[in-house]
Amino acid sequence: MLVRTGHHRQPDGSVVRVDIEMGRWVGSLYTPQMKLKAQLVGSYPEVHAWAANISV
């Protein structure tokens, strides 16, 4: 199984993170102050497409 987790820091200092939590794929967007701004729980393709869509 292909597993791709990690994070990407945006030019504005916000962070996009993809991880597996309790067996589920989770995408999170954090502000530059590391406060959770948005989160998506879904399948591998859903979460990775969401993360790619909001990444600069």
Q: How does pLDDT run across 3-56, given as a tens digit for each residue? A: 689 999 999 999 999 999 999 999 999 999 999 999 999 999 999 999 999 987
Which residue is listed with tokens 């991880």? Answer: 19
For the beta carbon of residue 20, count every other beta carbon within 10 angstroms.
13
Task: Tell me the per-residue pLDDT of 7-20, one tens digit each, with 9 for 90 and over.
Answer: 999 999 999 999 99
> Is the pLDDT score of 2 beyond 80?
no
First and final C-alpha spacing in the chain: 27
Q: In this structure, are residues 14 and 29 in contact, taking their beta carbons and an 8 Å threshold?
A: yes
